[in-house]
Amino acid sequence: MMPIDWNAAISVMRDALPPNQFKNWVEPLSLLRCEENRVILGAPNKFHEDWVRENYSVQLSSALESTCGRQLCLEFEVSQQNQESALGEGAMPEIVIAPPSRPLLRVVEPSAEPRKAIPPNIPPSKHPYYPLESNRMAYQCAMHMIETEAQDFNLLIIEAGIGMGKTHLMSHIAEGLYARDPMLRIHYTNTEAFTSEMYQSYQNQGHREFRKKYWQDIDVLLFDDLHMIPKKQRAQEELYHAFNEIISHGGRIVFGTSLNVRKLEEVMPSLKSRLESAVSAEIRFPSFDDRTRLLAQIALHQQLALDDLTLRSMADRGQKDIRDLISTLMRVHLQAQLANRALDTHYLAEIGFAIDTKKEAITLDEIVGLVEHTFGVGRDDLLSKSRMSSVNWARQVAMYLARVFTHLSMESIGNYFGRDHATVVHAYQRVADGMEQQPTKRYEVAHLKQKLQSRAPKNHVPF
């Protein structure tokens, strides 16, 4: 058996990935052993293993194939030795958070009075939080925060559109942390409530109490609607100081935002630097299959007897967000109860739902979202001028899929990506050639095509 040149494969990955992605996720891996056509790589921990398997396994397989000349089956294991060496040598842990300018932990004199368990101040959630493909990364980060100590993971930003479930996930985190340690002081607020509370404290001479609350009396802060933070310096300064104090005494902070932190305008540099050091996880709009699965789980939780065709019909209505999807289910269920009718496709047809709803045409946004999730390349990078090989390949695949699954002209596709007609033609041909010549690329694109084909209208014929 030809030996595996792991160093050569690492070099290929270093050239293919952005430096921060390579350093965070690939560099901590190690080659454990080779068994015939299997290669087993060691990861520092389970979270790291899951993330690499989900986002980099295809590229790692391709890198190994290019260096040893044959296709190999790639597997992962949590390596205790790798984990110990990573901690001992200062290598990158599972999640990298830039250290604050103050010490992470400091000695605090114990209070004379014993602490009492306080119920967490969090928004109530009517349903359990359901992990889906569209929220997988955010859910994994949430579970990791619940299961680890504060010094290992103390800062998370959940990015999602309005009504996509970021507040629900924040509640899930709070409930998990409280179940693990009922002594934790957990507090939920949002930008509007925080700012109003701050100004009232100024007017009522209660600013000392305000600062004591956010500086000393909170172990876990859930701060929602970060994207609405006022441009006024005072509110940002107060949040910045609260941020520092909570983290410095070993607490945790979870932010919810509808806008990427890097796109927040007029945020003071010191606060923005802190925010950019956080782990950020995005919740994307769920696919048709995800929406169907979510409705089935909600129906099971509410003890509603609905068949698969009814669920699929309700999932295919072009909802603008998850909140709208769930509220539609509950509204139609109530209508059926009041009418003393069974909630099925016949009743849906009577009130305006088609029995066999024609699927919506696949959009470029949906294609780009799928490519983002599969390749681990952000939308901003896909639409940028970057020529990095990993970004360029993902962009070419997105253009190829857009040509196959939409009726948009090549000019329209090119305009979406900030390119011209010739670039789309070139991208289509490169992907077609790559599928023909490289098995890993053929499998990669075929997997995406299969997902999109299940979403395509029945009368859709790929080009």
Per-residue pLDDT tens digits for 176-214: 999 889 999 999 999 999 999 999 998 888 889 999 999
- What b/e readout covers 301-331, taking b as 16+ CB neighbours within 10 angstroms? eeebebeeebbbbbbbbebebbeebbebbee
Three-state SS string over 412-431 comes to: HHHHHCCCCHHHHHHHHHHH
Instruction: Say if 6-88 and 364-453 have the same CATH topology.
Output: no
What pLDDT shows up at residue 129?
A: 86
Task: Provide DSSP, 166-218.
Answer: HHHHHHHHHHHHHHH-TT--EEEEEHHHHHHHHHHHHHTT-HHHHHHHHHHS-
What pLDDT shows up at residue 82?
A: 47
Q: Edge-to-edge strand order for the sheet containing 186-190?
A: 186-190, 220-224, 252-257, 155-160, 279-283
Per-residue pLDDT tens digits for 349-380: 888 764 443 445 678 888 888 888 788 888 88
What pLDDT shows up at residue 118?
A: 65
- What b/e readout covers 104-132, taking b as 16+ CB neighbours within 10 angstroms? eeeeeeeeeeeeeeeebebeebeeebbeb
Give the model's confidence band at 266: pLDDT under 50 very low, under 70 low, under 90 confident, else very high: confident
How would CATH label the architecture of 6-88?
2-Layer Sandwich (3.30)
Element (H, E) at 244: helix 233-248
pTM: 0.55
Per-residue pLDDT tens digits for 201-247: 988 888 899 999 999 999 999 999 999 888 878 889 999 999 999 99
Q: Amino acid letter at 59?
A: Q
Distance (Å, whole) CA 129 – CA 148: 19
194 token code pair:
């925080």
Residue ranges covered by each domain of the chain: 6-88, 133-283, 288-350, 364-453
CA dihedral 229→230→231→234, nearest 10 degrees, is -100
Residue 453 or residue 387, greater confidence: 387
Per-residue pLDDT tens digits for 117-164: 667 788 777 788 888 888 888 999 999 999 888 888 899 999 988 888
Which CATH superfamily, name and number, covers 364-453?
Answer: DnaA protein, C-terminal DNA-binding domain (1.10.1750.10)
What pLDDT shows up at residue 143?
A: 92
Per-residue pLDDT tens digits for 55-76: 778 888 888 888 777 777 888 8
What pLDDT shows up at residue 146?
A: 92
**Residue 13 · residue 26 · CB < 8 Å:** yes
Which CATH superfamily, name and number, covers 133-283?
Answer: P-loop containing nucleotide triphosphate hydrolases (3.40.50.300)
**Residue 91 · residue 27 · CB < 8 Å:** yes
Give the mean pLDDT of 101-129.
Answer: 59
CB atoms within 10 A of CB 85: 15
- Nearest by Cα to 287 from 278, 275, 295, 279: 295
Per-residue pLDDT tens digits for 405-437: 887 888 889 888 988 888 888 899 899 888 888
